[in-house]
Amino acid sequence: MQKISISLLILIGSLLSASADISSPVIGVLTQEVYLDGLISRHFENKTSYIAASYVKYLEGAGARVLPIWIGRNRSYYEDVMHKINGVLLPGGATWFNETNGYGDAGEHLIQLAVELNDQGTYMPVWGTCLGMELLVFKLAKGKEHRIDCAGKGIALPVEFKEDYNTSRLFTSISDDVVAAMVKENVTYHWHQFCYTEKDFEEDLLNETWRVISLNHDWNGIEFISTIEHVKYPFYGVQFHPEKPLYEFTKTSIPHTAASIVAGQYFSDFLVSEARKSNQSFTNATEQALRLIYNYKPEYTSILGSTYTQQYLFTKKEMGLEEIPDIPDEGGDGDGDGNGGLYPYPIIVDGGGGSSTILPLFSGFLLTLVIISIN
C-alpha cells in the first residue's frame, strides 16, 4: 500500500508540473520583405526583412516574449519553430501574398502547421492584424481572393459590435467599461486598402468557418468586417491596428487617448492569455534565449520618414539564408535550426517563469520528495 501511495504522489506531482500555466509565453512574429527601392534599403545596407517594433512592445506589454519568424525558409524550419513557441502573430504591413518565399508563403506554412497542431490537441493560437487577418482568411479559403478595395487609410473608428459579440471567445470576458469606451470613442486605428464584407463571407460560405464579431465603415461609407474569430480553431483577426495607439507616434491621426490605450491593451492581453494555454517549450532556456528578439536592436526609423517609429531590421545572414543551398523540403532542413550542435552552451534553467519545462518539472519533483518525506 505504501508503494502504491508513493507512486500515486509521484504521478500527481508530475501532472501538477506538466499542467503549470506558462506565465510568459513565447510568441512568434512573422517578418516581411524590405523592398530594394524602399526607404529602408536606401538607409540600411543589406537589410532584407523587418518587424515593426510596436508589435514586439505590444506583446511584451502583456507579458509575452517575442521570437522573430523568418520569411524565405523551408518547411522544416517552420515545423521546428511551431513546435516550440506558444502562439503566432501575423502583422500588418505592405506586401503581396504572391511574393515568392515571402510573407504569404511563410504565413501559409505557419497557418497550416497551426491547424495541424490544434487538430493533434496542441493549443496554438494565431492572431492576424490588418494584412495578417487578410492572410488568415485568404489561406484558409485555399487561396481564393475575397477582398475588395477599401478607403480605410488613416481613420480612427469606434467598434461596431454585432449583437452577440459577448458570446464570442474574444469578448466573453470584456468589461462593460471597456465595451462602452470601444463603442463611444474612436479607439481603433485603420490603415488598409483592402477589406472583407459580410456579403462576400455569406456568398462563399466563409461565415461557416469564421464568426464576424464587429463591423466598421470606411471613408466612403462602405461596411467592412473589422473583427473575426475562427469557429473551430483559436485563430483571431482584426482589420485595425491595436498596437498603434500604444506604440506608434508617426501620424496625428493615430489616437492616443486613454480609451484607445485601454482598448489596445485588451487585445494584447487576450492574445497573450491564449498563448499561455500552450504547453510547448524549447529544449532548454539557452536555445530559447539565442532565438528571442533581444538578440537584435530596433532602429529609429520614423526620423527617416517611416510610418513606424522603430523597426527591427534583419539581413539574410541573420535569417540563416546567406549560404544555404537550394535543397527541397523533403531533403531535410540543413540550416542548423534543430537540436544538432547549434547551441553548444550549458543548459540554463529558466528562472523567469517562462516556457522552459525544466524548472517546473524540477519543482514538481522536489514537491513530490517533500510530500514523501513528510509521510
171-186 core/surface letters (b: 16 or more CB in 10 A; e: else): beebeeebbebbeebb
The residues near 110 (Cβ < 8 Å, ≥ 6 apart) are: 28, 30, 69, 78, 82, 88, 90, 126
Gyration radius (Cα) of the chain, Å: 22
> Domain boundaries in the chain?
1-22+358-375, 25-354
Residue 11 has pLDDT above 50, yes or no: no
- Fold observed for domain 25-354: Rossmann fold (3.40.50)
Q: What is the pLDDT of residues 192-242, one digit of tens each?
A: 999 999 998 998 899 999 999 999 999 999 999 999 999 999 999 999 999
Give which of 294, 281, 261 is closest to 357, Cα–Cα. 281
Half-sphere exposure in the Cβ direction for 207 (13 Å, CA):
12
Can you give the pLDDT at residue 277? 97
Can you give the pLDDT at residue 186? 97
How many other CB atoms are found less than 10 A from the CB of residue 323?
A: 8
Confidence of residue 94 (pLDDT cuts 50, 70, 90): confident
Residue 352 has pLDDT above 80, yes or no: no
Residues above pLDDT 70, as percent of the chain: 80
Scanning the structure block, which residue is given the C-alpha cell 492572431?
Answer: 127
Contact 136, 111 (CB under 8 A): yes
How far apart CA 167 and CA 47 sit, in angstroms, is 44
Confidence of residue 96 (pLDDT cuts 50, 70, 90): confident
Residue 9 has pLDDT above 60, yes or no: no
Can you give the pLDDT at residue 219? 97
Residue 117 CA: distances (Å) to CA of 114, 177, 278, 281, 335: 5, 36, 11, 14, 23
Residue 318 CA: distances (Å) to CA of 38, 233, 296: 20, 32, 10
Can you give the pLDDT at residue 322? 65
Residue 357 has pLDDT above 80, yes or no: no
Q: What is the mean pLDDT of residues 288-315?
A: 97
Confidence of residue 346 (pLDDT cuts 50, 70, 90): very low
Confidence of residue 371 (pLDDT cuts 50, 70, 90): very low
Q: Strands 310-315, 299-300: parallel, antiparallel or unpaired by DSSP? A: antiparallel
> Which cell is 110 given?
505557419
Which residues carry out catalysis?
A: 130, 241
- pLDDT: is 356 or 162 the higher one? 162
The residues near 188 (Cβ < 8 Å, ≥ 6 apart) are: 156, 157, 158, 159, 182, 216, 226, 238, 240, 241, 242, 260, 263
Half-sphere exposure in the Cβ direction for 227 (13 Å, CA):
22
Q: What is the mean pLDDT of the chain?
A: 84
Contact 228, 236 (CB under 8 A): yes
Q: What is the pLDDT of residues 246-284, one digit of tens each?
A: 999 999 999 999 999 999 999 999 999 999 999 999 999
Can you give the pLDDT at residue 310? 98
Q: What is the pLDDT of residues 115-139, one digit of tens each?
A: 999 999 999 999 999 999 999 999 9
Residue 333 has pLDDT above 50, yes or no: no
Can you give the pLDDT at residue 42? 94
- In the chain, the DSSP E strands lie at 26-30, 32-33, 47-52, 65-69, 87-90, 126-129, 148-157, 160-161, 188-195, 210-217, 223-230, 235-238, 299-300, 310-315
**Nearest-5° Cα angle at 243, 238 to 246:** 140
Tell me the whole-structure pTM to 2 decimals. 0.81
Confidence of residue 335 (pLDDT cuts 50, 70, 90): very low
User: What are phi and psi for residue 243, nearest 5 degrees?
Assistant: -80, -25
Q: Strands 148-157, 87-90: parallel, antiparallel or unpaired by DSSP? A: unpaired
Q: What is the pLDDT of residues 145-158, one digit of tens each?
A: 889 899 999 999 99
Scanning the structure block, which residue is given the C-alpha cell 455569406?
Answer: 202
Q: What is the pLDDT of residues 67-85, one digit of tens each?
A: 999 999 999 999 999 999 9
Q: Which of 14-28, 103-117, 322-336 has the lowest mean pLDDT?
A: 322-336
How far apart CA 140 and CA 196 sit, in angstroms, is 14
Q: What is the mean pLDDT of residues 319-324?
A: 68
Confidence of residue 97 (pLDDT cuts 50, 70, 90): confident
